[in-house]
Amino acid sequence: MSIAVLLILAIAAFLAGIGGSYLGIGGGVFLIPFMTLVLSVNIKVAIATSLIGVIATSSGAASVYVRDHLTNLRLAMFLEVATTLGGIAGALVGLRVPELFLYFAFGVMVLYAAAAMARVRETARQRAYQAGAEPRLTERLKLSSVYFDQEDQGVYRYRVERPVAGFGVSAAAGLFSGLLGVGGGFIKVPAMNILMRVPMKAAVATSNFMIGVTAAASAFIYYSQGLVDPGLAAMVIIGVFSGTNLGTRLLEHSKASNVRFAFAVFLAAMGLAMLLSRLPGVSI
Amino acid sequence: MIAARGGLRLVQRRVAALRRAVVAEVEDMNRLIYHILRGGVVVSVAVLVFGFVLVAMTGRPIPERSIPPRSLGDQLYHFTPEGYLSLGVLILIFTPVVRVLLSLLSFVKEGDRMYVLMTLIVFANLITSLFLLA
């Protein structure tokens, strides 16, 4: 790798760090296509490098969100059980599923999530604690929590709905993570926000917290295979870490509805790209 | 060299902050997790920068393959760029594992059995993947 390529990668990683920490994803979905298509890095090396970037995003951004009490630590632990199990299953079994099926299932699901997130606007009223009884599991696991929103200086109490469904979707997120070398944040954020009714910022922070552990499980496997290119990984770590310092500040001070919208646009673009990339005669 | 010295100072500051955190803020788990995660990345970046300084000093090409953990000690002893770049990457990969261990301790202290069990499962999964293909 030449110095120029490494510097370009560091800049791309910087952008991935900003976007990743702002949207609650690892940035792997940016980095893998960039490395393979623009820098023509081998796909397996790209996946390994991206996993390292996911961990850097997670540690860099999650640390700030945890300090500022945006992250729901209990919810994260509960869902991590699913994502790590899914991650191992993805690495072992998922490889036998036809690739085409994965791409389409993935693309359709991502587009659905994008539409759902763009349509529903999150207002302070919706964020407010709803009356009525909590689901039994939520109560038992003390999943409901509060967070402080720096944008409007409000403290919001929220409760976690449909914990079992969220657990299932997280397992699927882990599966994709093990398979494609991404953190799976783009599945977890909508799952928490739409399905479990966790406010957007808390969902982003909690997702960011979880992806590091999910990616670490797969990163060990790639490292032991000698697939981690230390030069590339170093540039990605340095770039991503600088990016997260900006992205976290962006999230904490921006409107939740803007975060949702940015996320929806991002999902839509990704879903389309994934579907189109499998159509004959189109290369993305 | 300036980069290396700056990195060292950053590491020192992190270590000092971490020690203060452990001593004074054990009750505040969020604060401690912040220092572990942040410290892990900062130390990793510092080691990586040192690796690049070695690349510049030895004039050797930037390595393209990770070093197996077995031969890492030897590489570090001989101050090869490969060794220090791989060490930086490994420190980063292990940061989330340390964080899970820390969560385990905090749930044990709280006496929350359900969460101790869940954290143990997550930790077991991480260890499994560590030995799965090693």
| Band (A1; pLDDT cuts 50, 70, 90) | low
Is the CB of B7 inside 8 Å of chain A's CB atoms?
no
Q: Which amino acid is at B5?
A: R
How is residue B127 written in tokens?
């260890």
- pLDDT tens-digit series, residues B23-48: 554 457 778 888 889 999 999 999 99
Share of chain A above pLDDT 90, in %: 7
Backbone angles phi, psi at A2, to 5 degrees: -80, 165
End-to-end CA distance of chain A: 23
Establish if A47 touches chain B: CB-CB under 8 angstroms.
Answer: no
Helical pair A99-119 and A256-277, crossing angle rounded to 10 deg:
150
Structure confidence at residue A75 as a pLDDT band (50, 70, 90): very high
What is the residue whose two structure tokens read 């032991």? Answer: A224
Q: Could you give the CA distance from residue A117 to residue B86 in angstroms, rounded to a whole number? A: 40
B50-94 pLDDT, tens digit per residue, is 988 888 888 777 777 777 777 777 878 888 888 888 899 999 999
In total, how many domains does chain B have?
Answer: 1
User: Backbone phi, then psi, for A260, in 5-degree steps?
Assistant: -60, -45
B89, A81: Cβ pair inside 8 Å? no
Q: Round to whole Å and give the CA distance between A272 and A150.
A: 34
Written as one string, the DSSP assignment of A46-63 is HHHHHHHHHHHHHHHHHH
- What is the C-alpha separation between A218 and A51, in angstroms, rounded? 8
* Cα of A166 to nearest chain B Cα, Å: 16
Mean pLDDT on A35-60:
83
What residues make up the domain containing B87?
Answer: 2-132
Q: Is any Cβ of chain B less than 8 angstroms from the Cβ of A266? A: no
The mean pLDDT of B7-29, rounded to a whole number, is: 65
Per-residue confidence at A127, pLDDT binned at 50, 70, 90? low
Could you give the angle at the alpha carbon of B38 between the alpha carbons of B33 and B40, nearest 5°?
95
pLDDT higher at B82 or A101 = B82
pTM: 0.82
Encode pLDDT of A219-245 as tens digits: 887 787 778 888 889 899 999 999 888
Contact (CB, 8 A) for A71 and A206: yes
Q: d(Cα A38, Cα A8) in Å, to the nearest integer? A: 10
Taking residues A11-18, what's their average pLDDT?
86
Q: Determine, for residues A229 and B66 on separate chains, whether the beta-carbon distance falls below 8 Å.
A: yes
Q: What is the mean pLDDT of chain B?
A: 81
Longest dimension (CA), chain A: 61
ipTM: 0.81
